[in-house]
Structure 1
């Protein structure tokens, strides 16, 4: 299986494709998958991803399941 990379846009520092550390994947009320974590410098990161990527990240151990 390919390596799953969870990245997000950092609003505070305006950086793109920042890797998410300590990621936790939750489901929103409408059924979307939301990834929450931090960048290692104290900045919180949040992004949405599709079901396939979310379940692959949980299965590979990159992220924790939050539901």
Structure 2
């Protein structure tokens, strides 16, 4: 997974597959992974991820680690 890209649904503009910029990945209380960032136009984006994709995005430098 060298080519990792985080995308989300933009609720405000109703667009699917919007790339997340300035992503920070956090863990939820139940242990799931969540990426939060923006679309570059001021709209906030949030999406849930699996552990494999979340850790791959951190390793690739696409997102920052938001826990510990």
Q: Same fold (TM over 0.5)?
A: yes
Unmatched runs of 5 consecutive residues or more in structure 1: none
Name the CA distance, whole Å, in 2 between partners of 1:57 and 1:9. Answer: 18
* TM-score scaled by length of structure 2: 0.96
* TM-score scaled by length of structure 1: 0.98
Task: Give runs of ≥4 in structure 1 deviating > 3 Å.
Answer: none
**Number of aligned residues:** 67
In the TM superposition, 1:15-34 aligns within 5 A as: 15-34=15-34
Counterpart of 1:44 in structure 2 is 44
Unmatched runs of 5 consecutive residues or more in structure 2: none
Contact 2:2 2:60 in 1 (8 A): no
